């Protein structure tokens, strides 16, 4: 990346994850880049998200934090030594967790710091940070740090998508199609709506082509859903392939999970299903063409209501569905 003639500063951005949070940070990374045009931007993340940040056009370098237990003082000392050796001039903590606050206390007391660590002044974050929409929280943080904010509230992760044309053709998928996301983290089964199989069959009966693209721990779940299951050559799609599939989907229905956030921030029309675990507004998943249904308990959300919303939203996209029955 071309550097300006002024003395280059080294900027650290901390974003450990999870996946939805990582991709939502794209707009903030863009704004940090715009405000540091001649500086080196380094992201500190965890191993699962290394390749994502390495592909990000706003980042120069990626460092890995294994997130060892903090009671392992020997490993914390090793990490601190590595970070201090980089001689960063500024740190933007976009994770804002107790762990990263401890990094400020241990490693960066003499470094300019943007985040929620005790002793750091951020008026926007101090006012009920847990109730703020995630994108608003990041935008407020960057404004408090003196940055001009243009992109934070509107992440654009189109650079993440591979061309999935061949993958779809090999699986017999033709456009337009509706993609379902029936899974979620195994740690949060309460986020899984249990009626995707019935929804898929109802849509197929109406003439829609239905596709699922399960992760490695969701293959059994997807096997119970009618339609085409995309597995690719490895048995499941990586994030770049999945993003490419989303780019070609006419509509997406999914749970509150990373792939749904991916679809939303790719600008794909879609619908997310939320129980009481959190609100769609707080997660920032809702965009111009992507909305949510929120209920107290997902198991009580009937197929008919989801189907009605799909019909309404698909009609709004003005896409002519002419697929034959499968």
Q: Residue 2 domain-assigned?
A: no
Same domain? 171 vs 152:
no
Q: What is the pLDDT of residues 156-183, one digit of tens each?
A: 999 999 999 999 999 999 989 999 999 8
Of 36, 46, 47, 45, nearest in space to 11 by CA: 36
Kindly report the CATH number assigned to the domain that includes residue 222. 3.40.50.2000
Q: What is the mean pLDDT of the chain?
A: 89
Q: With 80 as the cut, is the pLDDT of residue 317 above it?
A: no
Same domain? 108 vs 19:
yes
Same domain? 123 vs 85:
yes
Q: What is the pLDDT of residues 239-278, one digit of tens each?
A: 999 999 999 999 999 999 989 999 999 999 999 999 988 8
- Predicted local distance difference test score (pLDDT) of residue 123: 56
Residues 275, 253 contacting (CB under 8 angstroms): no
- Predicted local distance difference test score (pLDDT) of residue 127: 54
Q: Residue 236 domain-assigned?
A: yes
Q: 253: which 2 tokens? A: 């229905």
Q: With 70 as the cut, is the pLDDT of residue 322 above it?
A: no
Element spanning 91, H or E? strand 90-93
Q: Residue 167 domain-assigned?
A: yes
Model confidence, pTM: 0.86
Structural domain that includes position 121:
10-156
Q: Residue 323 domain-assigned?
A: no
How many domains does the chain fold into? 2
Same domain? 142 vs 242:
no
Same domain? 180 vs 137:
no
Same domain? 25 vs 104:
yes
DSSP-assigned states of every residue in 67-85: ---TT-HHHHHHHHHHHHH
Same domain? 26 vs 152:
yes
Same domain? 250 vs 236:
yes
Same domain? 18 vs 152:
yes
Residues 46, 66 contacting (CB under 8 angstroms): yes
Same domain? 125 vs 224:
no
Handedness of CA 275, 135, 137, 1 (dihedral sign): positive
Q: Residue 163 domain-assigned?
A: yes
Same domain? 173 vs 147:
no
Q: Residue 193 domain-assigned?
A: yes
Same domain? 100 vs 194:
no
């Amino acid at each position: 990346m071309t550097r300006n003639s002024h003395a280059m500063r080294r900027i650290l951005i901390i974003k450990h994850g999870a996946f939805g949070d990582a991709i939502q940070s794209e707009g903030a990374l863009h704004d940090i880049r715009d405000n540091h045009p001649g500086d080196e931007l380094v992201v500190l993340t965890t191993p699962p998200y290394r390749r994502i940040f390495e592909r990000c056009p706003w980042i120069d370098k990626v460092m890995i934090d294994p997130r060892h237990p903090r009671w392992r003082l020997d490993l914390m000392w090793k990490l601190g030594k590595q970070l201090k050796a980089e001689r960063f001039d500024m740190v933007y903590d976009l994770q804002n967790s107790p762990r990263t606050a401890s990094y400020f206390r241990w490693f960066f007391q003499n470094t300019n710091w943007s985040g929620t660590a005790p002793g750091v002044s951020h008026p926007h974050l101090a006012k009920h940070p847990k109730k703020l929409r995630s994108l608003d929280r990041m935008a407020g943080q960057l404004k408090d740090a003196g940055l001009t904010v243009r992109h934070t509230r509107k992440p654009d992760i189109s650079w993440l998508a591979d061309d999935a044309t061949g993958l779809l053709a090999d699986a017999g998928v033709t456009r337009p199609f509706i993609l379902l996301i029936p899974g979620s983290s195994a740690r949060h089964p309460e986020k899984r709506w249990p009626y995707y199989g019935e929804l898929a069959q109802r849509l197929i009966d109406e003439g829609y082509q239905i596709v699922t693209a399960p992760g490695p721990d969701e293959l059994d779940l997807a096997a119970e859903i009618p339609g085409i299951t995309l597995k690719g050559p490895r048995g499941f799609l990586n994030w770049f392939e999945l993003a490419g599939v989303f780019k070609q989907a006419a509509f997406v229905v999914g749970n509150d999970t990373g792939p749904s956030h991916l679809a939303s921030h790719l600008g794909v029309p879609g619908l997310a299903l939320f129980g009481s675990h959190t609100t769609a507004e707080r997660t920032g998943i809702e965009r111009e063409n992507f909305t949510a249904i929120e209920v107290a308990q997902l198991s009580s959300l009937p197929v008919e209501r989801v189907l009605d919303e799909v019909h309404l939203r698909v009609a709004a996209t003005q896409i002519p569905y002419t697929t034959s029955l499968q």
